[in-house]
Amino acid sequence: MTTTDEFAQLGAPLESSSSPALKFEVLAKCSTTKARASRMHLPHYTAHTPMFMPVGTMGTIKGITTAQLRTLDCHVILGNTYHLGSQPGPELLEKAGGLHKFMAWDRGLLTDSGGFQMVSLLKLANITEDGVEFENPHDGKMMMLTPEMSIGLQNSIGADIMMQLDDVVSSLTTGPRVEEAMWRSLRWLDRGIKAHKRPTEQNLFPIVQGGLDERLRTISAQELTKRESPGYAIGGLSGGEAKGSFWRMVSLSTDILPTNKPRYCMGVGYAEDLVVCSALGVDMYDCVFPTRTARFGNALVRTGSMALRQGKYKDDFTPIDSECECSTCKNFTRAYLHATVTKETTGCHLVTVHNIAFQMRLMRDIRQAIVEDRYPQFVRSFIKMRFGKTVPQWIMDALKSVNIDLTVPDADGYFATTVEDDFQKHPNV
């Protein structure tokens, strides 16, 4: 499970960019879609994209050691600035030499700004021009998180990539509040850039905002490109909006953002989203879904999600996936996992290992298909296995926008018709 040599046969980069703490090299492009395969040199690790980044809120992915993450070939993992800032706190992290040393992780780290948690998890959050005022969950006192404080916390954490503090609004919000948040996020970005104390060691990514409004998204993306940042994030999505709106905002953003810098779509982790958004030109993803769903006994496979707690697996002595090379699939059966998931921490741990392995393998397959310029064929094969003959309308539309028309039969005779559901209700069997 290594990606060390997957780009070894490729020549000089097609495009590149260099910043003090990040060098990005586009090594291969799909000749049909906007997909590309790239190498991203970070202070602690050289990551390959498109890549998925597991989320370790408190500097740990539940039930998984950093040694296991290396074995699974994770290139970058996430930490949560709000939670890490509360405990263990910036003072202790600075004494430890940063989060990398504190958690014994020698690869890439990305930290969010803490703004999303301020609004989504805490009571009495109030957004002002100064920052986010909120009630401290530990002692009930009112506190303020400003753009400068967010950057200061992230400088103490020491992640390779930091996110700006943005004014977070729900993707379902409409009206003047969306435009207010977009412009405020730009002003907060400029404050964050000025507050950044370690620009030669850490990268600050701004975030495209604007809700589901094409005009506002366009303005936001255009304004961000003026800041000459090392990379860019696409935020404010994956919040319950219709998937038809979701993919259009992603594609609009990648059309505007620089082609020689990494693009990170925040909060995306479903397999079909990774395949489609890679076709739309996205390079980086994160989501709690693969590890969170594992704790409910759900194993990820190419046909969908396998609910191992169901009784039909009680006497099933096959692995989750016979083609998976993870330690769970090599050593444990569905029957054993059925007996332990949701009951014993061991079961949750084993399914988590598999789900992360699934995500890493999917991303390797995506990169390899791009390198070999057969990404459209890979997409069709993936969709056929995932959905069969009926595919969500948004996927059909998104792929058609990048010249993959699933209504036209391929060499094997496969074609699909549409269904209105945004999500897969049952695994394709």
- What does the alpha-carbon distance between residue 196 and residue 124 come to, in Å, rounded to a whole number? 28
Whether residue 409 is preceded by a cis peptide bond, meaning omega within 30 degrees of 0, is no
Dihedral-angle region of residue 349 (phi above 0 means left; psi in -120 to 50 means alpha; beta otherwise): alpha
* Cβ contact 157:198 at 8 Å: no
Q: Which of 73, 112, 166, 283 is catalytic?
A: 112
Question: Which among 29, 30, 25, 35 has a CA at the least distance from the CA of 280?
Answer: 35
Residue 78 tokens read as 């996430």
- Around Cβ 289, how many Cβ atoms within 10 Å? 21
Residue 286 is among the residues annotated as catalytic for this protein: yes
- Pairing relationship of beta strands 161-163 and 108-111 according to DSSP bridges: parallel
Residue 112 is among the residues annotated as catalytic for this protein: yes
Q: Which of 166, 213, 283, 286 is catalytic?
A: 286
- What does the alpha-carbon distance between residue 304 and residue 325 come to, in Å, rounded to a whole number? 18
DSSP for 386-397 reads HHTTEEEHHHHH
DSSP for 286-338 reads EESHHHHHHTTTEEEETTEEEETTSGGGTT--S-S-TT--SHHHHH--HHHHH
Catalytic residue numbers, as ranges: 112, 286
